[in-house]
Amino acid sequence: MRTEVLAGATCVRLPDGRDLCYAEHGSPDGEPVFLFHGEPGSRLFLPVADPSALRDVRLITVDRPGYGRSDAKPGRSLLDWPEDVAHLADRLGLDRFAIVGVSGGGPHALACAYSMPQRLRAVAVASSPCPFDFRRATDNLAPGLLEEFALAREAPLMLRPTVDRAVRRIREQTANYFAELGSRLDASDAELLALPQVREMYTADLREAVRDGGGAWLEEAHLLASPWPFAVHRIDMPVRIWHGERDRLAPPRMARLLWRALPQGELRLAVREGHLFFYRHFSEIIGSLVGDGPSEPPLDGWRVMRQAALPRN
């Protein structure tokens, strides 16, 4: 595989000829963690309020196919993603590593946990949906989302005008896009979106995500809303689920359903926070994945539920 540095991204050539692009943050000598962005998103997604959280971490953020600088893979499956990650890890000389998937990155992290548990030291998902065919998984969605998910699954091309309009707003009227997004979120999320550092990070992340249009966004919406090509209950390793109890984009019922399906799952609910809670708690999420990071969140403001003990791999 060749390696090329392009516009702030490092790109590797995959065996099928596609370029997969990534960025690195933190310490080059730190414990390796792959961070999978949301939908839409890019390698510029970096929800780090406290930079010291990355002091002992080599954080690798990756553009999924069609986002940012990575080439598209039409018709891809969730189970294609672990192959891309494995190729990139090989190129970086990483035998084992941790992963965390945020929002739409959550199902991609679970696909890796299913496909290559032998390479993963630890796995976490934050604000992640569960499979949409789980019973009553879509209860309590924000207004309009149920219809959008149904279209994404059954007739994704009918969503193209909606996605194209969102792409234009991200590029030309970012403030309006955030205002519309905020109307679907909890008040705690709106407070975060009003912070300059959060707004700046998301603006860069989303504009890079749609630099080539909304094709990857549309395809991934269909991918996540359709039946997943693996059984969550067959994931043979511990998984920590972090979620906001006021999440309106992926309601907490999804987190509970996911927790019940995982043989070795642990659910941590932030009781007064919404979909973007991970920005406030990213250091705790990262700390639970590497080294001797905290195994328990602060008791105040959290609910913790376990299926089984979660030894560190």
The listed range with the strongest mean pLDDT (119-123, 137-141, 142-146, 268-272) is 119-123
Candidates 1, 28, 5, 31; CA nearest to 15 is 1
Residue 160 placed within a domain = yes
Please state, rounded to an integer, the average pLDDT across all residues of the chain: 92
Q: What is the mean pLDDT of residues 245-270?
A: 96
* Cα distance between residue 83 and residue 77, in whole Å: 11
Residue 312 placed within a domain = no
What pLDDT is recorded for position 146?
A: 87
What pLDDT is recorded for position 280?
A: 93
Q: What is the CATH number of the domain that holds 273?
A: 3.40.50.1820
The number of CA neighbours under 13 Å toward the Cβ of 55 is 7
Helix (H, G, I), strand (E, B) or coil at 152: helix
For residue 116, give both structure tokens: 């290559």
For residue 213, give both structure tokens: 């249009």
Residue 18 placed within a domain = yes
Candidates 80, 148, 78; CA nearest to 107 is 78
User: Which of the four pLDDT bands, split at 50, 70 and 90, describes residue 309?
Assistant: very low
* Cα distance between residue 38 and residue 205, in whole Å: 10
Residue 176 placed within a domain = yes
User: Which of the four pLDDT bands, split at 50, 70 and 90, describes residue 293?
Assistant: very low
Domain count, the chain: 1
Q: Is the pLDDT of residue 196 over 70?
A: yes
* Cα distance between residue 287 and residue 144, in whole Å: 36
The number of CA neighbours under 13 Å toward the Cβ of 269 is 18
Note whether 45 and 99 are within 8 A (CB). no
Residue 179 placed within a domain = yes
Helix (H, G, I), strand (E, B) or coil at 113: helix
Q: Which residue has the tokens 């603006």?
A: 203
Q: Is the pLDDT of residue 7 over 80?
A: no
Q: Starting from the edge strand earliest in sequence, which strands make up the sheet with 9-13, in order?
A: 3-6, 9-13, 19-26, 57-62, 31-36, 97-102, 120-126, 239-244, 265-270, 302-306
What pLDDT is recorded for position 232?
A: 98
User: Which of the four pLDDT bands, split at 50, 70 and 90, describes residue 312?
Assistant: very low
Helix (H, G, I), strand (E, B) or coil at 160: helix
User: Which of the four pLDDT bands, split at 50, 70 and 90, describes residue 313?
Assistant: very low
pLDDT, one tens digit per residue, over 157-179 is 999 999 999 999 999 999 999 99
pTM of the model: 0.93
* Cα distance between residue 279 and residue 125, in whole Å: 13
* Range of lowest pLDDT (57-66, 174-183, 210-219): 174-183
- In angstroms, what CA-CA distances link 4 with 60, 89, 100, 241? 16, 16, 25, 35
**Bond prior to 40 in cis (omega within 30° of 0):** yes
Residue 313 placed within a domain = no
pLDDT, one tens digit per residue, over 222-234 is 999 999 999 999 9
Residue 146 placed within a domain = yes
What is the residue range of 94's domain?
3-306
Residue 276 placed within a domain = yes
